[in-house]
Amino acid sequence: MYTFNPGPSQVYPQVRQYLLDSFDQGWLSAQHRGERFVQLMRETITELKNKLNIPQDYTIFFMSSATECWEVLVQSLTPTKSFHLYNGAFGEKWLDYAKAQRPASTGVQFGIDELPNLQNLPGLDEETDLVCITQNETSTATQLRDGAVLNIYNRLPGNALLAVDATSSMAGIQLKYIKGDIWYASVQKCFGLPAGLSVMLLSPRAIERMRKINERAHYNSLTAQYEKMLNFQTTHTPNVLGIYLLNRIIHDRPAIKVTHQHLVDRATKLYDYFDQATQLTPLITNPEARSTTVIGLKAPAPLIDEVKRRALAQGLQLGSGYGNWKPTSLRIANFPAIPDAAFEQLVQFFAREFA
């Protein structure tokens, strides 16, 4: 059985052994103030920076989910308002969380086949603390390429910081972290691990802003987390098992450029195949807007149902569409933990039954 669900997604097969090791090595009762845990944190952060090409001067935080990252960014880095550019459900949810605490926050929605246009955006002005984008919108299977992110970064108004949701792309594709102030992801997507942990990166500029704002009203205020993180510690008992699993997988994975190329090649093949050969077509028609890590396909609702049902009967679990596209689309995760053999089976399935 393979799952192509874009989160929670297929975990690496090595996770089974890591879990046994974590038990045998006593990590499940490890002291989170002890030297052994501090060493684990230090090593995990070093390895994350090396393998993912994260600038050395960025600070890494561990939280519990991407949703917690949304909340913390609103609390601790948005004294006035944020501006959100989005085309799908996750980007919109982020805006909803922002508006709940900072009602002046606004957003502009762009079409799923469009690249965002930065001219004349209502609500984006000098008062904006944070410009928020979703690098890979899991719900619509779209992606902002490096050039699009750079464009936004180069046009930030006033002192605004650029915050990037990379939940379904970090650890799958190479990201230019230097062109963003804040990046985050949870581990149940491209990291190929069980849910319950997220990774957030802050540039030196974002850290400086955090210090200036100095927000301390919440248990997970960034300022307090930062102060603990200087000593590789956390404000509360953390997800030690999650951090241990992350440590093991990041140690065993190749450099991100290797994974990146692998996923790009696989995505190209899949899009080429679905562009021509089947009753289903890619949900996103503009090749520049298509995601590398989540492939959306569309077809009439009865056909989508039929495809999902027959695939499942053959051990292939496809991801459902999301939001407005739920009945007429499906999603296929192209995450690194899913082996090539699974994609071969998938393509054979479509060739045999839906060509």
Ligand X SMILES: *Cc1c(COP(=O)(O)O)cnc(C)c1O
Residues forming contacts to ligand X in the complex (CB under 6 A) are 7, 65-67, 90, 134, 138, 165, 167-168, 186, 189, 198
> How is residue 331 written in tokens?
């999603």
Q: Which CB, 187 or 297, lies closer to ligand X?
A: 187
Please, which residue, 78 or 134, has the CB nearer to ligand X? 134
Nearest approach, Cβ of residue 36 and ligand X (Å): 27
Phi, psi of 298 (to 5 degrees): -125, 155
Q: Which residue, 82 or 134, is less far from ligand X as judged by CB?
A: 134
Q: Whole-number minimum distance, CB 182 to ligand X, in Å? A: 13
**With respect to ligand X, which residue has the nearer C-beta, 128 or 134?**
134
The structure tokens listed for 349 are 């399935």
Q: What does the angle CA 88 – CA 344 – CA 191 come to, to the nearest 5 degrees?
A: 50
Q: Minimum CB separation from ligand X for residue 256, in Å?
A: 18
Of the pair 279, 320, the CB lying nearest ligand X is at 320
3-state class of 220 per DSSP? coil
Give the span between the Cα atoms of 218 and 222, in whole angstroms. Answer: 9
Q: Minimum distance from CB of 25 to ligand X (Å)?
A: 27
φ, ψ of residue 243 to 5 degrees: the values are: -70, -40
Closest CB 326 distance from ligand X, rounded Å:
16
Report the candidate in 328, 78, 320, 340 with the shortest Cα–Cα distance to residue 212: 78
CB 197 → ligand X: shortest distance, Å?
A: 9
Min dist CB 195 to ligand X, Å, is 6
Cα angle vertex 123, ends 117, 126, to 5°? Answer: 100
Strand order in the sheet with 59-63: 59-63, 198-202, 182-186, 161-165, 130-134, 82-86, 106-109
Nearest CA to 130 out of 166, 85, 67, 190 is that of: 85
Q: Are 137 and 109 in contact (CB under 8 A)?
A: no
Residue 150, C-beta contacts closer than 8 angstroms, at least 6 positions apart: 176, 179
Of 49 and 189, which CB lies nearer to ligand X in the complex structure? 189
Give the nearest distance from C-beta 23 to ligand X in angstroms. Answer: 25
Based on CB atoms, which residue is closest to ligand X, 190 or 304? 190
**Rounded Cα gap, residues 343 and 262, in angstroms:** 13
Nearer to ligand X, 191 or 274 (CB): 191
Element (H, E) at 344: helix 340-353
Cα angle 31, 35, 36; round to 5? 70
